[in-house]
Amino acid sequence: MANERIGTAGTRQDIELRVGSTFGPVDFTDCRDDAGNLIDFTGSTFECIISLRDGNGAAVLSPVVSVVGLGHYRIAATPTTALAAADLDFWKPQPKHNWILWRTDSTGNRKPDFFGVVHVSRETVE
């Protein structure tokens, strides 16, 4: 059973951002079901939430997600000025935020596609 996922938790994907940068756009293309067919997202809705890790789960940012075509959806470009940088050393920032991307299909079945932590740094390394 190599590289197979069991469960419905979605896929972990951590995000690294710089303070004041723009997150996205991010395209998810070639999305396929378990049978290998491109997913028809017609009638699906998406909710992307970035929240504080030590908060109540309330959204700090809610990037807009839209269907582009068969097997393809996109998170729109979103300014990140509402996200605070980690208080610790740049080289070992402590993540302050979580993110999750929920998909509700046309039958009302809601599940996370992606989730993870958001690392926000004060600067970029050149």
pTM here? 0.78
Q: Does residue 1 form part of some domain?
A: no
Q: Does residue 101 form part of some domain?
A: yes
Q: Does residue 78 form part of some domain?
A: yes
Cβ neighbours of residue 116 under 8 Å, at least 6 residues apart?
12, 13, 14, 15, 98, 99
Amino acid 6: pLDDT: 47
Taking 90 as the threshold, does the pLDDT of residue 5 lie above it? no
Q: What is the CATH number of the domain that holds 80?
A: 2.60.40
Name which residue leads in pLDDT, 17 or 91: 17
Mean pLDDT across the chain:
82
Taking 90 as the threshold, does the pLDDT of residue 126 lie above it? no
Q: Does residue 3 form part of some domain?
A: no
**Closest C-alpha among 94, 84, 24, 93 to residue 60:** 84
Over residues 115-124, the pLDDT tens digits come to 999 888 776 5
Which burial class, exposed, middle or buried, applies to 97 when counting CB atoms under 10 A from its CB (0-12, 13-18, 19+)?
buried
Over residues 70-94, the pLDDT tens digits come to 999 999 999 888 777 655 455 555 6
Residue 123, CA distances (Å) to 21, 22, 24, 51 in order: 10, 14, 18, 21
- Indicate the number of domains in the chain: 1
Q: Using DSSP, state whether 47 is helix, strand or coil.
A: strand
Query: 31 lies in which domain range?
Result: 11-121
